[in-house]
Amino acid sequence: MVSEIDHFMDGLMRRNPHEPEFHQAVFEFVETVMPYYLDHRKYTDARILERMTEPDRIVSFRIVWEDDNGVPHANKGFRVQFNSSMGPYKGGLRFDPSVNVSILKFLGFEQTYKNALTRLPMGGGKGGSNFNPKGRSDREIMRFCHAMMSELFRHIGESTDVPAGDIGVGAREIGYLFGKYKQLSNHFTGGVLTGKGLSFGGSEIRKEATGYGVVVFAEDMLKHHGKTMSGKTVAVSGSGNVAIYAVQRAMRMGAKVVTVSDSRGFAHLPNGFTDESFAILQDIKENRRESLAVFAQEAKGVTYHAGKSPWSVPAQVGLPCATQNEVDETMARVMAKNGMECLAEGANMPLTAQAIHVLKDAGVIFGPAKAANAGGVGCSGLEQAQNAQRLLWTRDQVEQELEKIMRSIHEQCVEYAPVKNGVTDYQAGANIASFARVADAMIGYGYL
């Protein structure tokens, strides 16, 4: 088995040199899917693994925008349209200086299998720009978004490719992007972007959906192993869209949330978040767009640790919600030693491959991103459904549908997952269940 995996990865790395994040995402998938793949001749005969690791296409373009001093800047823009077997390409846009083709290919690949698990008609894609929104004024963000859409609009559409938010892209940016799309196309096509404002075709709960979904999934995993979230100490990383609503949902489930972080350090709340400290965090991050150091000054019972990650704080549940590869093997050992029982990935690929092995070997229940954080894109699918119906569902309706999606993902994982020492292998379950769904669709289309 190891030699088949190595052989496959050698070929992939030769065909896609200098793309470490893409190699990592494919390895994490192939490592668990290979035995199932080799057991089914319909897949091996169709060379389906080789085919599904090559994106349908990658669009790359220049974005020129003007800053507040009238100086022009040029950034790179991309859209990776990875796989449309399950439906129109669907996945977020990321604005961050680190954005490159390797990162967007890893994200587009992961998105394809995540979206398949939702069972909604969505293919996988991802895009973005190396534009750094930090420190930019609202006007500059608007001009950048308008400039980006001047090219992106040619490549997207409600039945072609439907972008949404990701790191650095929230409701404000989606509003500017949608406004420009509407102007250029002279169509009000709600279903072309998701994460829109509620007054122009957005959905209730989309803002909260990823963070809420992560906690619902963690609770399902705990329950499946005879445990519960209530009373547990929870460490969260990040303090953006996913992290904020993971904190809120975990608090509502009776957990004590003791950390949040950003790229400059982490905030420690030994007695856990209160409604008051949560409201301050939300205001600082969503309205004032300030750093966690400010949060630590304004909220009671908070210490700030510059330049450190939150994983040395003992917790029974870990929710990494910041970015890729934020947890390495050493941190995973610390988590396991400190008694972690369950970890659900809120961010995409926050754990290195070695970190996942350390946690699984220590018997920690591990929820991979493509299952645990699928609530965001699941709710985007519900937004598209509302746009197609020209209706706005109530908060309760959306929340019920979203919980159904998360529960169904948990069931699919359990159906396909091996069990080792009494612990369900959700990583293998999520990968095999989604592989089978995408592979069967691709085979159904013939050799394309």
Ligand X SMILES: O=C(O)CCC(=O)C(=O)O
Ligand Y SMILES: NC(=O)C1=CN([C@@H]2O[C@H](COP(=O)(O)OP(=O)(O)OC[C@H]3O[C@@H](n4cnc5c(N)ncnc54)[C@H](O)[C@@H]3O)[C@@H](O)[C@H]2O)C=CC1
Residue 384 binding ligand X, by CB under 6 A: no
Q: Could you say which of 127, 163, 240, 381 contacts ligand Y (CB under 6 A)? A: 240
Find out whether 165 is annotated in a ligand binding site: yes
Residues 159-218 that bind ligand X (CB under 6 A): 164, 166, 194
Q: Could you say which of 220, 262, 341, 383 contacts ligand Y (CB under 6 A)? A: 262
170 vs 363, which CB is nearer to ligand X? 170
Q: Could you say which of 129, 309, 380, 434 contacts ligand X (CB under 6 A)? A: 380
84 vs 373, which CB is nearer to ligand X? 373
Look at phi and psi of residue 301 and say left if phi exceeds 0, alpha if psi is from -120 to 50, else beta. left
- C-alpha 227/C-alpha 12 separation (Å) is 40
Q: Where do we find the tokens 């057991």?
A: 39
Residue 129 binding ligand X, by CB under 6 A: no
Other CB atoms closer than 10 Å to residue 14's CB: what's the count?
8
Distances (CA, A) of 394 to 194, 251, 263, 386, 387: 17, 23, 36, 11, 14
- C-alpha 84/C-alpha 331 separation (Å) is 37
Residues 339-368 that bind ligand X (CB under 6 A): 348
Find out whether 183 is annotated in a ligand binding site: no
Q: Which residue is nearest to ligand X (CB)?
A: 92
- The amino acid that residue 74 corresponds to is A
Residue 238 binding ligand Y, by CB under 6 A: yes
Residue 126 a catalytic site member: yes
Q: How far is the CB of 349 from ligand Y (least distance, A)?
A: 8
Find out whether 42 is annotated in a ligand binding site: no
Contacted by 202, from ligand X, ligand Y, none: CB < 5 to 8 Å by type:
none
Residue 355 binding ligand Y, by CB under 6 A: no
222 vs 236, which CB is nearer to ligand Y? 236
Residue 436 binding ligand Y, by CB under 6 A: no
Q: Could you say which of 16, 81, 194, 241 contacts ligand Y (CB under 6 A)? A: 241
Contacted by 194, from ligand Y, ligand X, none: CB < 5 to 8 Å by type:
ligand X
Rounded to 5 degrees, φ, ψ at 110 are -55, -40
The 105-124 site mask, x for binding ligand X (CB under 6 A), equals ------x--x----------
Among 105, 126, 207, 232, which one carries the catalytic annotation? Answer: 126
63 vs 164, which CB is nearer to ligand X? 164
How many residues of this chain interact with ligand Y, rule: CB under 6 A? 23
Only one of the segments 41-49, 69-77, 260-268, 299-307 lies at the binding site for ligand Y (rule: CB under 6 A); that segment is 260-268
Q: How far is the CB of 242 from ligand Y (least distance, A)?
A: 4
Q: Could you say which of 77, 87, 88, 91 contacts ligand X (CB under 6 A)? A: 91
Q: How far is the CB of 68 from ligand Y (least distance, A)?
A: 22
Question: Which stretches of the chain bind ligand Y, using CB under 6 A?
Answer: 165-168, 210, 238-243, 261-263, 321-323, 326, 346-348, 373, 376
Question: Which stretches of the chain bind ligand X, using CB under 6 A?
Answer: 90-92, 111, 114, 164, 166, 194, 348, 373, 376-377, 380
Catalytic residue IDs = 126
Residues annotated within the binding site are 90, 111, 114, 165, 210, 241, 380
